[in-house]
Amino acid sequence: MNGFGTRGAVMLTAAVSLALGLTVLGVPAGALAQDAAMGVDDGTRITMWSRAATQARADALVKAYNATHKNQIDVTFVPTDDYQTKVGAAAAAGGLPDLFSADVVFMPNWTSAGLFTDITDRIESLPFKDNIAQAAIDVSTWDGKKYGLPFIVDLSVWMYNKKLFRDAGLDPDKPPATFGEFVAAARAVGKLGGGVAGTFFGGNCGGCNVFTWWPISWADGQPVMNPEGTESNLNSDTMKQIYAGFREMVADGTVLMPDSETEAGPTWTGYFPRGVIGIMPMPASLQGMANAALADEDIGVTSIKGIKGGESTFVGGDAIGISRDSKVPDAAWNFMAWLVGDEAQVEVVAKGGNVVARPDLAANKYSSADPRLVTFNTIAGKGQTPFAKNFGATYNDPQGPWIPLFRDAVFGDPSRIDAHNDAINESLNP
């Protein structure tokens, strides 16, 4: 890692002397700034990896870039569960592509190991640098150096089925304003019976409950970890009340069982579109959601609330960076700079019904057509992205210590929460 720092310094020195030299030679400063900001588009072939989970959205961006640029990106999608393995193996053997994206929670792990090229100065030179969603940049910063930009923004929200709300005598235009109201609404829908359940969660999936339960605590102002990601508060009173809420809903049959208990992640978002769930947390995307079993106008969307009210979200999705092995960082940067620019964000991201990575573009011609998209874009600014170097091994790993914690809290013996939290602390500080 020391070697990396030295290399970065050498490159920086080289860049500075090159810039000085060019100024002396009389190259207009404006043109130079432009090049430095946008990188080069000279027909370079750029290799890139991304995970299958975000393939549809990533593919749309890459296709739009390839259609309008001389550079051509060859993107390879990797099965989501194996993405960490693939990148790890390539890093170990020296075979990383030019660009690769990462689930934001993995960024600290990869930046701290020096997998990416430092792009602090490149980001600095972007004219709209202050308008980029900061969460992904913050989570990609290590030792004061920036390594990544937001690629795909994915938020968690509560989605509810307005038809089931009406059937249960609830007001479909008045979504829950507290976690307590969420439980009450779920319970009311759960009483309908006939294959319908109040709510659903991935009871064997670490990532799902990070994404959907932590914002409840954040909305109450209760952090789940310290900012350095070395100490867990997952045994706080707030979290214990949240676990207890789900425990009660499991006990009284509000939760879809046994599916919830066995769900390990691969299908957790598949239940809501089937029209059999009253209310549950979901990723903030309407793409491909409506179908014969769930009419588009019946999909209600609201932010995740705390026990006392307030709202928050998990600002997730993927960040992207230039790998340390890339031989064409200038060309690769051209894609990244384009990615967070106005055209890509509005004409590709917003047009596809997704959350933009530029809060200043949240109100655009596409989002104004659907108030739900406005909701998505507004709450993006109120969310958090957790930061921990050992995030994956602690929270996503099927054999990590977080899954036993919430499984005991919800299905098993809640008195063991504190002991499990100690195991989490141990895993955060190996």
**Interacting residues toward another protein by CB under 8 A:** 1, 47, 49, 52-56, 74-82, 84-86, 88-95, 97, 109-110, 113-115, 154, 202, 204, 208, 258-259, 261-262, 264-270, 273-274, 283, 285, 288, 291-293, 392-393, 396-400, 403-404, 407, 430
**Whole-number minimum distance, CB 1 to another protein, in Å?**
7
Q: Which is nearer to another protein, 106 or 338 (CB)?
A: 106
DSSP 169: T
Tokens of 138: 């913050």
Instruction: Return phi, psi of residue 373, to 5°.
Output: -70, -35
- Residue nearer to another protein on the CB measure, 383 or 392: 392
Q: Where are the alpha helices (DSSP H) in 69-178?
A: 83-93, 107-112, 120-124, 134-139, 162-167
In contact, 49 and 86? CB cutoff 8 Å: yes
Q: What is the Cα–Cα distance from 107 to 214, expressed in whole angstroms?
A: 19
In one letter, which amino acid is 320?
I
Give the nearest distance from C-beta 52 to another protein in angstroms: 4
Closest CB 3 distance from another protein, rounded Å: 10
Shortest CB 65 distance to another protein, Å:
15
Say if residues 154 and 285 touch (Cβ distance below 8 Å). Answer: yes
**Residue nearer to another protein on the CB measure, 123 or 332:** 332
Alpha helix positions (H), 268-394: 329-339, 342-343, 371-380, 391
Going by their DSSP bridges, the two strands 145-146 and 279-283 should be labelled as unpaired
**Nearest to another protein of 259, 347 (CB atom):** 259
Residue 28 CB coordination number (10 Å): 10
Residue 414, helix vs strand vs coil: helix
**Of 399 and 415, CB closest to another protein:** 399
C-alpha span between 429 and 419 (Å, rounded): 16
When the beta carbons of 211 and 310 are compared against another protein, the nearer one is 211
Closest distance between another protein and the C-beta of residue 283, in Å? 5
In this complex, which beta carbon is closest to another protein, that of residue 96 or of residue 186? 96
What is the closest distance, in whole angstroms, from the C-beta atom of residue 16 to another protein in the complex? Answer: 28
CA distance 195 to 192: 9
Smallest distance from another protein to CB 99, Å: 13
